[in-house]
Amino acid sequence: MTDVQMERGKKRRFSSTEEASSSKHKGEELSAAQAPQKKKSTGSSGIKTSSLFRNNPEIPQMHRPAVSQLKESIFTSDSFTQMNLHPHLVTTLNKVFSASMVTMVQRQTVPLLLSGHDAMVRSQTGSGKTLAYAIPVVQSLQAVHPKVSRGDGPLALIIVPTRELAQQTFCTFQKLLKPFTWIVPGVLMGGEKRKAEKARLRKGINILVSTPGRLVDHIRNTLSIAFSAIRWLVVDEADRTLDLGFEKDLTIILNSVNSAASSRQNVLLSATLTHGVTRLADICLKDSVSVTVSGLSSSDPAACSPAKTDHVTSSQSESFVIPEALKQFVVIVPSKVRLVCLAAFILDKCKFSQNNKLIVFISSCETVEFLYMLFTSVLCGSNQNSGVIFLRLHGNMKQEDRTDVFQQFTVCRCGVLLCTVSVNVTTSAEHCTMSCK
């Protein structure tokens, strides 16, 4: 090989080495360009703003239909001493119930029922409807001679839609009957032991409070239940009872009572006047008097013929009567901030104010459990003295747990009750805010 050929070979090797080195450097530059650029340290804490409150859809203007909202005054200046009641009953109302003033619905209903009329009473929830019929029932039974005894069986039958309302109504009668110990109240409801209820029925109950389903079960399977001595039949929260699908059960109960005792006094109570309630009134009421405590009617009750009742139904079906002290809020928010808004609302109304009770109605038992665990851990945390308690109430809970929760919410000063829409909770409208999620 000549010197010229060797020199040419060296040049070729040197050229290929340069090309490889150049390719390597280009690859490194490309990789560096593709790699994400690191942020320069600015010395700040690097706080990032969540996108929860950004890029939300624009809330459209919602059409607000014209709804006739009627404010109903609850209390009057009258007292129970003006109603010609037993002195012991008046004393119990004043001391045990701390009820010195009569509500509007009580002023109209109590004298009407004491005079022996059937009645259809329409008034808001929390207006004192329970005492409006409980007082006449107790007043009439304590005056029976010879005295009422356990052996007489049920003399008054009270039908309510839910267990919580049954328990509350039963407790109301227990308090009213403290001066009249010979009159025995009792309650039948789902979740309790059927055997224990049968034993109580055999022993004797004079004022029987029951949910429709459990009462139908006893009518079919308990021989010791008899309605031959019934003097009072009361259907409380009639609209709610029908909404929960108890129309067939009510028919069975009415047929059973009618076959045993045709002569009795009937009372139907409802917060709304629907076609179903009107149809039920036509079935179980005779020559009834309609009591409507709202701005649509005068303060004095007047007798209503069936035609007039239908007319009242059609004119009032689009009207809503709300408690005077009940505050209502409507907030339209994107789905992803709904939970945050609910938590903020609870904090504002309960934890920071500490003088309100709030009921949150939720669609399912699972959601109730989720929100209960979330709020108790996040909003309360380890601080047991946070000033607000969270309670849950739904159909999957045991009856004793439901009763305990109901009692806690009744006596607490500031609390949040998370419950399903199928649970009926009746409480005083004072200091109570309703929220639907």
pLDDT band at 314 (very low <50, low <70, confident <90, very high): very low
9 φ, ψ (degrees, to nearest 5): -65, -40
Out of 80-84, 184-188, 259-263, pick the least confident. Answer: 259-263
From residue 424, give the alpha-carbon distance in Å to each of 70, 213, 286, 361, 384.
23, 15, 29, 10, 28
Out of 141-145, 233-237, 381-385, pick the least confident. Answer: 381-385
pLDDT of 45 over the 60 cut? no
**pLDDT at position 318, please?**
43
Q: Average pLDDT in the 148-160 region?
A: 96
pLDDT of 356 over the 90 cut? no
pLDDT of 148 over the 70 cut? yes
% the chain with pLDDT above 70:
73
Structure confidence by residue, pLDDT tens digits, 363-380: 899 999 999 999 998 887
Helix (H) or strand (E) holding 281: helix 275-284
Q: Pick the most confident of 9-18, 76-85, 149-158.
A: 149-158
Do 75-292 and 335-435 show the same overall fold?
Answer: yes
**pLDDT at position 292, please?**
86
pLDDT of 400 over the 80 cut? yes
* Closest CA relative to residue 176, chosen from 96, 234, 235: 96
Out of 52-56, 85-89, 185-189, 228-232, pick the least confident. Answer: 52-56
- The larger pLDDT score, comparing residue 280 to residue 40, is at 280
* Closest CA relative to residue 301, chosen from 129, 117, 78: 117
**pLDDT at position 236, please?**
95
Strand pairing report for 289-292 and 207-210: unpaired
Structure confidence by residue, pLDDT tens digits, 224-260: 899 999 999 999 999 999 999 999 999 999 999 999 8
- The larger pLDDT score, comparing residue 90 to residue 75, is at 90
- The larger pLDDT score, comparing residue 192 to residue 215, is at 215
Q: Average pLDDT in the 402-418 region?
A: 88
**pLDDT at position 60, please?**
76
Domain 335-435: what homologous superfamily? P-loop containing nucleotide triphosphate hydrolases (3.40.50.300)
Structure confidence by residue, pLDDT tens digits, 9-39: 555 555 555 555 555 555 555 454 455 554 4
Write the CB contacts of 176 (distance below 8 Å, at least 6 apart in sequence). Answer: 89, 92, 93, 96, 134, 135, 138
Q: Average pLDDT in the 132-158 region?
A: 96
**pLDDT at position 285, please?**
92
pLDDT band at 329 (very low <50, low <70, confident <90, very high): confident
From residue 238, give the alpha-carbon distance in Å to each of 74, 91, 317, 363.
21, 31, 15, 22
Tell me the average pLDDT of the chain.
80
pLDDT band at 307 (very low <50, low <70, confident <90, very high): very low
Q: Average pLDDT in the 347-359 region?
A: 80
Q: Average pLDDT in the 346-373 region?
A: 87
DSSP string, 202-251: HH--SEEEE-HHHHHHHHHH-TT---TT--EEEE-SHHHHHHTT-HHHHH
**pLDDT at position 313, please?**
42
Domain locations in the chain as residue ranges: 75-292, 335-435
- Letter for the amino acid at 21? S
Partners of 320 in the β-ladder:
69
CATH 3.30.70.980 for domain 75-292, yes or no, is no
Q: Average pLDDT in the 70-76 region?
A: 68
